[in-house]
Amino acid sequence: MRKYIGTKDFYKYVLSIAVPIMLQNGITNFVNMLDNIMVGRIGTEQMSGVSIVNQLFFVLILCLFGATSGAGVLGAQYYGKGDMEGVRNAFRAKLWSAVVLVSASIFVFWFFGDSLIGFFLHDGSQEGDLQATLSYGHQYLRLMLIGQIPLGLEICYSSTLRESGETSVPMKASIAAVFINLVLNYILIYGKLGFPALGVAGAAIATIVSRFVQVGIVITWSHTHREKAPYFDGVYRTMRVPGTVIRKVAILALPLMANETLWSLAVTTQTACYSTRGLAAIASLNIMSTINNVFNIVFIALGDAVAIIVGQKLGAGKVEEGKLTAYRIILFSVTLCFFIGALMFLTAPFFPRIYNTSDEVRSIASSMIRINSCMMPVQAFLHATYFTIRSGGKTLITFVFDAGFMWVVAVPCAFLLVTFTDLPIAMIFLCCQLADFVKVAIGFVLMNRGTWARSIISA
């Protein structure tokens, strides 16, 4: 076991990459939690309508993530090799992917948004007005379509910066954006400083403004600091991407995009299964996921650190060093999450009390938070394992490991339990979470084989 424990300098280096990402995600998710609480204090219908729309946008965000990640795997390895033109071509491939996906999503959500929202609305609890929830969701969705344009650009720029190890700029931009979002939420949702009380529309406007601020900061820094980001110098001289790069990106990106798309659709389908237990289930899931995102920042950031550090080592041809680095970061992440999960378990009953909702919703949400807290070390292992395998370009394996598992195990589990049992929603949620131990066993096998560790750019 001792070889899987790194030196003090090793952990300093890992944390130098991970901490800015933790801070960015932590502040973003904390402010998102406050944002969620602000909407939640208006009422259950408003909170549920916004939650459903955000679940739909979650699919788009992960599609963007998957489409740009294929180029990102190449970009990290090109940077490790010192090939700046390769990094530029990877960035251009990301931009083209973002343009196509954002355009397609705006079309789908504009014309079919109400039908998609209605997919989550079912009777089954004493909580809430379904028609009012649909109305609030429609209002929020139409406005939020504007915000998808800066979102796509920001993902392209920030991911490229992180692949080169520059994690502080996206963090600072995110901090600025979330505080603007928080202030505008307070003013526009509740009607402060002479502004009208806009409710969910105010929440959407605040998010849109903050996204434009965030992407503006990132773009400005990227093109004014050539010594730190030389790969952005002349990146728009052409938008043509060489055929060899397109082929490599396609080989990597298509499985990743398929994975992220199908995985997010599986999560959305699983949520739709839970929603058959009524609006109380949707409201409880919204509270749980909001709190969960705040506590998950450690293993999310360490997963990003695996992708960056191991990807650069593999690109430089240091395959065995890359393997050992991955194992050490995974152990580090799992260990930290035992303590974070314990803290989350102890504080679980307090968070739902902040929301203006029923005792039924508060009770279910508290149970779900505690279930997730117990599963946090498991999620840390699975997240880091996914990014480890992906860093070597084994995207087809990650597809089977991630999306394949969701559709073959997790979604059928949720569907069968809500259809053929009378179990309460919290117990159904627990059973679905416990199914992840099957995925843990698969992850151990894939890691031990070691075939994921390879240099793509020299292949």
State residue 215's pLDDT score: 94
Sign of CA dihedral 238, 244, 247, 252: negative
State residue 202's pLDDT score: 92
What residues contact 377, with CB distance under 8 A and at least 6 apart? 334, 337, 338, 341
CB 376 within 8 A of CB 298: no
State residue 188's pLDDT score: 93
What residues contact 246, with CB distance under 8 A and at least 6 apart? 93
Select from 294, 236, 243, 298 the least CA-distant residue to 95: 236
State residue 457's pLDDT score: 58
How many angstroms separate the CA atoms of 299 and 383, rounded? 7
CB 175 within 8 A of CB 23: yes
CA dihedral 264, 156, 447, 7 (to 10 degrees): -130
How many C-beta atoms lie closer than 10 Å to residue 104's C-beta?
Answer: 12
Select from 348, 356, 291, 353 the least CA-distant residue to 48: 356
Burial 184-208 (b: 16+ CB within 10 A, else e): bbbbbbeeeeeeeebbbbbbbbbbb
Angle formed at CA 133 by CA 130 and CA 135, multiple of 5 degrees: 115
State residue 353's pLDDT score: 86
Give domain limits for the chain.
2-449
Six token digits for residue 163: 């692949």
CB 442 within 8 A of CB 401: yes
What residues contact 453, with CB distance under 8 A and at least 6 apart? 314, 319, 320, 322, 323, 326, 392
What residues contact 345, with CB distance under 8 A and at least 6 apart? 370, 373, 374
State residue 80's pLDDT score: 79
CB 138 within 8 A of CB 113: yes
CB 303 within 8 A of CB 333: yes
What residues contact 7, with CB distance under 8 A and at least 6 apart? none
How many angstroms separate the CA atoms of 378 and 401, rounded? 15
Give me the phi and psi of 26, to 5 degrees please.
Answer: -65, -50
How many angstroms separate the CA atoms of 251 and 71, rounded? 10
State residue 303's pLDDT score: 83
Sign of CA dihedral 206, 210, 211, 213: positive
| Encoded amino acid at 64, one letter | L
Angle formed at CA 309 by CA 230 and CA 165, multiple of 5 degrees: 30
Sign of CA dihedral 454, 166, 23, 176: negative
pTM: 0.69
Six token digits for residue 195: 């502004």
How many angstroms separate the CA atoms of 285 and 275, rounded? 9
CA distances from 55 to 51, 298, 437 (A): 6, 22, 25
Q: How far from chain centre, in Å, is Cα 27?
A: 14
State residue 126's pLDDT score: 52
How many angstroms separate the CA atoms of 17 and 304, rounded? 9
Length of the chain: 459
How many angstroms separate the CA atoms of 332 and 164, rounded? 22
CB 2 within 8 A of CB 327: no
What residues contact 212, with CB distance under 8 A and at least 6 apart? 150
Parts of the chain with a pLDDT under 70: 1-2, 24, 28-29, 31-33, 122-128, 393, 395, 453-459
Give me the phi and psi of 271, to 5 degrees please.
Answer: -65, -40
